[in-house]
Amino acid sequence: MNFLRVSYRVQFIGMLALVMLAFPAFSQAAIPADCQFNRLIEEDMEGEDVRCMQKYLNASGFTIAETGPGSVGKETTEYRTLTKAALIKWQKARGLTPAIGMFGEKSKAEYLKDLAAQLLATNGVSKPVAIATVVTPTPTVAGASTVAKSADQTLVEKNISDSLIKIINTTGELKDLRDSNPKKADASENEIQTAMKNLLSALKYYFDGNYIKSNDLTKDVAKSVVKTTTSQTSGSSVTKTENLLNDIEDLYNEVDDKIAEAEDDGDEVGDAQDLLEDAGSLLDDAWDAFDDEDYKQATNDALDAEELLNNALDEIGGSNGDEADAEKSLDKAWKEYKNIKSDVSAAEDDGDDMDDAWDYLDEAKDLLKDADTAFDDEDYDEVMDLVDEAMDLIADAEDEL
């Protein structure tokens, strides 16, 4: 894979440092660049995309087999037990959930990150770097200015940086769109593939010093990314973000009430009030971002507010933290149960056999009822254990989809 000439070094450290700081460590082996991951890949499937996935896992240090079929250079088109085991190890190492051996949207996003990181490493960036400690080298490209950056160079650096981050983010968000509108998801995935190909070409022209040609290609990247992000701001993504904000607003009101009750009882509340105020500011920012249709920023602000609110609960009355954690986990489990139950019902209406999924959900429901009882008995450790078991069963039910 020789996309870029090794003799050229990175010219725009700001963008590369930003991107590399977001990338995990990756193998020095060559990562395949021609993988066409256009479907969800799971056990017992066959195809060239399976072979490419095996090559990627082998190159990333998660070897399918030491010798024979699946080993380096002998990758196959068949997804079997050894491939699944290697994929699960890779998913766990990357912090992907659920790590169950299904190569979907999140896994494809990680593949793109590694591919981009390898391209950058080819040009001299092989590990995360701090912007403040790097000196931008002077380009030595025939026909290009070695005195100062041109307007074209500066513009293309910004466009490449913005496009790469957007590609990574939107690839990881396709699952929501696929749940609500599979056809739009397929179209969005094709746009991402097109955007990535154009971005690789833009990087090549950039390092060759052809900034005008590179900039023309980044415009095509931007168009593809815009199509993708536009399609993803409809349907379930918007609803999910709004539901999240409403849930965290309910949590804010709950924490506010508990602080007032604790103060009335003469209990110590520590920094709970300050944490509550900070969470309120973040929640306001989240709603502002939601109104501006910046749903990703709204989600990030809301989750930050949620963390502060949970910290505030920990400050109240000492032992209330365990209760709050148990209550939060139990509430989330019930919500997840209801969501998957709704999806299973819809699949069954479409004629799919969901008997196994219903069995898993029935067992999960029983466990959650037991967790409710344990919560009433203030046995919060038991609540957490029961919730964990229930969530495993809910995940099994989701796999049946």
- pLDDT tens string 374-398: 888 888 889 888 998 999 899 888 8
In a domain, 217, yes or no: no
Q: Are 336 and 395 members of one domain? A: yes
Q: Would 328 be classed as within a structural domain?
A: yes
Please tell me whether residues 335 and 348 are part of one structural domain: yes
Question: Are 153 and 205 within 8 A, CB to CB?
Answer: no
Residues 385 and 400 in one domain: yes
Q: How far is CA 166 from the centre of its chain?
A: 12
At 368 the pLDDT is 93
**392 falls within a domain:** yes
> Comparing C-alpha atoms, which of 394, 281, 295, 280 is closest to residue 339?
394
How does pLDDT run across 96-113, given as a tens digit for each residue? 888 899 998 778 877 877
- Is residue 264 assigned to a domain? yes
Q: Quote the number of domains for the chain.
A: 2
> Final residue of a domain: which of 318, 333, 364?
318
Structural domain ending residue among the three candidates 281, 301, 318: 318
* CA-to-CA separations, 84 to 88, 90, 91, in angstroms, rounded: 6, 10, 10
For residue 49, being part of any structural domain is answered with: no
Asked which of 318, 340, 364 is the last residue of a domain, the reply is 318
- The letter for the amino acid at 198 is N
**pLDDT tens-digit map of 169-197:** 666 566 666 666 677 677 777 777 777 77
In a domain, 116, yes or no: no
Write down the pLDDT at residue 265.
77
Q: Which among 235, 313, 232, 231 has a CA at the least distance from the CA of 267?
A: 313
Q: Are 316 and 258 in contact (CB under 8 A)?
A: yes
Q: Are 244 and 262 found together in one domain?
A: yes
Structure confidence at residue 370 (pLDDT): 92
* pLDDT tens track for 67-88: 999 999 999 999 999 999 999 9
Asked if residue 310 and residue 333 are part of one domain, the reply reads: no
**Are 273 and 334 part of one and the same domain?**
no
Contacts 24+ apart (CB under 8 A), 349-355: 354/400
Q: What mean pLDDT value characterizes the chain?
A: 74
Structural domain includes residue 358 = yes
- Asked if residue 298 and residue 335 are part of one domain, the reply reads no
Q: What is the tens place of the pLDDT at every residue in 337-363?
A: 998 898 888 888 878 888 888 999 999
What is the structure's pLDDT at 139?
A: 36
For residues 314 and 327, state if they share a domain: no
Q: Work out the average pLDDT over 233-239.
A: 56
Beta bridge mates, 46: 78
Specify whether 309 is located in the same domain as 341: no
Looking at the structure, do residues 365 and 397 belong to the same domain, yes or no? yes
Q: How far apart are alpha carbons 9 and 125 in whole angstroms?
A: 8
Host domain of residue 305: 235-318
Taking the model in full, what pTM does it have?
0.35
300 and 345 belong to one structural domain: no
* Chain centroid, CA 279 distance in Å: 24
